[in-house]
Amino acid sequence: MKEKKFETTAIREQAKRSENSEHSVPIYATSSFLFEDAEDARAQFADEKEGSIYSRYSNPNNDEFIDKLCLLEGLPKGIATSSGMSAMFASIVAFLKQGDHIVASRALFGSTHQIMTKLLPRWGITHTYVDGNEEQDWEAAILPNTKMLFFETPSNPALELLDMEMIGKLGEKHKLIVNVDNCFATPYLQNPADWGAHVVTHSATKFIDGQGRVLGGAVLTTEDLYPDLKYLARHTGPSMSPFHGWLLSKSLETLAVRMDKHSANALHIADRLEGHADINFVRYPFLKSHPQHELAKKQMRKGGGIVTFELSGGIEQGRKFLDNLEMISISANLGDTRTIATHPASTTHSKLSQDERNSVGISDGLVRLSVGLEHEDDILTDVLQAIEKSK
């Protein structure tokens, strides 16, 4: 066949069938695997022969998940990890050493910010934060010891977009690793490797799983960088369980249809909330009012499932809004079939100072809505009645 479309690849890419000719891949719930003989064992440990040795290194379920994800993202190699944050950490420390420097967007998820500011300095890895998309600001932050450019787009939770083409070209110019957190968009909505990214990270816990069932992460990269990533994973063990690998591979089969519906529902909600008397602003990449709407159309296929809005009553109205929701879940997670509301200032980004939150657009009244797959009118009705009762 000619090159298959996204949906077909996500469904039809599978691990090799066993002698049982199963249609659905079984769960390989085993810690280790057998060798044919001493030579087979030697060859596999010497990386001369492909095979499964130990589920900390590889497992058919996790391999299938990663093989699919690599095809969907357009990168050749990767690892599956136990959580999104283990993937995030591995995607940095696998490639850096003491004395190295990172240039990163300031608009980062709270735990990623903690890695940058609290953990990496313990090992002599420093960073410089950059605001926005001005090329001269990014270039000015690059030092002789800079090794990586790191960012997420759209950002969590303020939905700031970073220009992947511009940053990718900077990486090429200065011979730097470009590392992109693609959690919010997923490979269905955008592919950072098309714009020059060498490393793409995912919290598979979110939209890739899509049903709030499991923890998981993934790091995808190029052939030349993969040995360092593989070495780190093999010897530090941020391993995904085979059961989670099996579930997440199944989840990829429905990613396209789910993201279509998430995006349609989210655009409907964002459009209806815009101009509401009790809302200062609504942010959604495919709203024409989004400051980076044209960039969104350039590098994203659709707007995704996250909408943010700022309630005019600040932190108190934000809390009352959550307390008055009747259907929508209150949770720190996102990417579920069920719509979820989060108040970032008091939860996901609460470890940041007030100034740090303000600098990345997280005001006291900001609400993050992970729009689910319920009927769009039912979601909107619950949002509107909770706003009315929160006044």
Residue at which a domain ends, from 252, 279, 298: 252
CA 353 – CA 121 distance, rounded (Å): 19
Same domain membership, residue 193 and residue 170 = yes
The answer to whether residue 1 is domain-embedded is: no
CA distance between the termini of the chain: 59
pLDDT digits (tens, 9 = 90+) for 331-384: 989 999 999 999 887 776 677 777 777 777 788 889 999 999 999 999 999 999
| pLDDT over 60 at 1, yes or no | no
Looking at residues 93-111, what average pLDDT do you find? 96
Q: What is the pLDDT of residue 20?
A: 78
Per-residue confidence band for 65, with pLDDT thresholds at 50, 70 and 90? very high
Bridge partners of residue 285, in order along the sequence:
none
Which one, of 191, 34, 170, lies nearest residue 103 by Cα? 170
Q: Which helix (H) or strand (E) holds 52?
A: none
Same domain membership, residue 188 and residue 155 = yes
Q: Beta-carbon neighbour count of residue 62 at 10 Å?
A: 29
Looking at residues 89-105, what average pLDDT do you find? 98
pLDDT digits (tens, 9 = 90+) for 228-282: 999 999 999 999 999 999 999 999 999 999 999 999 999 999 999 999 999 999 9
Per-residue confidence band for 2, with pLDDT thresholds at 50, 70 and 90? low
Same domain membership, residue 260 and residue 195 = no
Which one, of 310, 199, 189, 327, lies nearest residue 255 by Cα? 189
The answer to whether residue 137 is domain-embedded is: yes
CA 273 – CA 282 distance, rounded (Å): 7
3-state helix/strand/coil string of 88-152: HHHHHHCCCCCCCEEEEECCCCHHHHHHHHHHHHHHCCEEEEECCCCHHHHHHHCCCCEEEEEEE
Which residues neighbour 185 within 8 Å (Cβ) at sequence distance 6 or greater?
A: 153, 154, 300, 304
HSE value, Cβ hemisphere, 13 Å, CA-based, for 7: 6
The CATH code of the domain that includes 46 is 3.40.640.10
Where would I find the beta strands (DSSP E) of the chain?
Answer: 77-81, 101-105, 126-130, 146-152, 177-181, 199-203, 217-221, 279-283, 306-311, 329-330, 340-342, 366-370
Same domain membership, residue 228 and residue 89 = yes
- Phi and psi at residue 27, to the nearest 5°: -90, 125
Q: What is the pLDDT of residue 350?
A: 73
Per-residue confidence band for 21, with pLDDT thresholds at 50, 70 and 90? confident
β-pairing verdict for 217-221 and 77-81: antiparallel
Q: What is the pLDDT of residue 157?
A: 87
Q: What is the pLDDT of residue 361?
A: 75
**Average pLDDT for the chain:** 94
Domain count, the chain: 2
Residue at which a domain ends, from 252, 269, 304: 252
Same domain membership, residue 115 and residue 24 = yes
Burial of 98 (0-12, 13-18, 19+ CB in 10 A): exposed
CA 375 – CA 368 distance, rounded (Å): 19
pLDDT digits (tens, 9 = 90+) for 158-217: 899 999 999 999 999 999 999 999 999 999 999 999 999 999 999 999 999 999 999 999
The residue segments making up the domain with residue 210 are 6-252
Same domain membership, residue 247 and residue 140 = yes
Which one, of 164, 141, 166, lies nearest residue 151 by Cα? 164
Q: Beta-carbon neighbour count of residue 241 at 10 Å?
A: 19
Look up residue 248 and give its two tokens.
């997440």
User: Are the CB atoms for 325 and 305 separated by under 8 Å?
Assistant: no
Same domain membership, residue 283 and residue 210 = no
The CATH code of the domain that includes 376 is 3.90.1150.10
Looking at residues 18-40, what average pLDDT do you find? 91
